[in-house]
Amino acid sequence: MEQIVQIYKNNLKKMSISFAVYETLSQAIIMNMLKSNSRIKEEEFAKLLNVSRTPVRESLNVLMKRGLIVSDIKSGYVVKGFSTNEANDIIRYVKVLRREAAGITAKKITDEQIIILEKNVLTEERINVLKSCGKKDEIYSTFQDFNLLVAKYTNNKYLLEESKRMHEKLLLIHYYYPENIKDDHPADLFALESQEVFKAISEHDSAKAREAVEECDVHILNVTRHVYNLRKDYV
């Protein structure tokens, strides 16, 4: 809770109260300070951040729209948890977004953009560096950054917004199924995918870029499914 107040104070330096409240709540969820299935009480947060209830309620409404929290008649607002079905739906949709973005970007990308994209490819060296300084979690976020950059270069803002929104949800899923991100984290598969996709995009080969996502993702799907099934068995 202390951490959340600190985030709020930092946000307040940059933005208006209502926007800072919103940013704080969304950061707290995305950074897993407010865990899945935990309750969020309007009054409690208003008191904690020393603001009126209106900006808190407005923020909660928007977060609900973003699919990060759900309203529950009994307990008010709850941070979203995911059934295996929901998780699979999201993973499937993210794959489609990634695949199509890679296909479009391969056709449109400029030489300057290729140079920037290359710097964001998840290479083995990069993974080793991240692992050796204990930043295993960053492997995944590096992979996400690469994907969002590919989405950005489609020049389609709707596709980019949708990708961002879905990547947030994917993060929540990873928190919800922690085995996935901690131990069975398929770093090599992420690396393989980003390298293959980059190669195809830099050759302006749209079909190959789509295929690369499709092929590598099959493995990721298998890994995640396997993890979900394990979890289902022992819960």
Per CB under 8 A, residues contacting another protein are: 54, 57-58, 61-62, 65-66, 86, 89-90, 92-93, 96-97, 100, 104, 156-159, 162, 166
Nearer to another protein, 179 or 211 (CB): 211
The minimum distance between CB 156 and another protein, in angstroms, equals 4
What is the C-alpha separation between 159 and 101, in angstroms, rounded? 8
Of 148 and 159, which CB lies nearer to another protein in the complex structure?
A: 159
Buried b (16+ CB within 10 A) or exposed e, 93-128: ebbebbbbbbbbbbeebeeebbeebeebbbeeebbe
C-beta of residue 101 within 8 angstroms of C-beta of residue 154: yes
End-to-end CA gap in the chain: 28
Report in angstroms how near the CB of residue 131 gets to another protein at its nearest: 32
Shortest Å distance, C-beta 64 to another protein: 9
d(CA 26, CA 45): 13
Residue with Cβ nearer another protein (94 or 216) = 94
Is 57 or 208 the residue whose CB approaches another protein more closely?
57
Q: Considering the complex, what minimum distance in angstroms separates the CB of residue 95 from another protein?
A: 9
Torsion angles phi and psi, residue 134, rounded to 5: 70, 20
Q: Name the residue nearer to another protein (CB basis): 57 or 231.
A: 57
| DSSP for residue 15 | S
Least Å distance, CB 89 to another protein, is 4
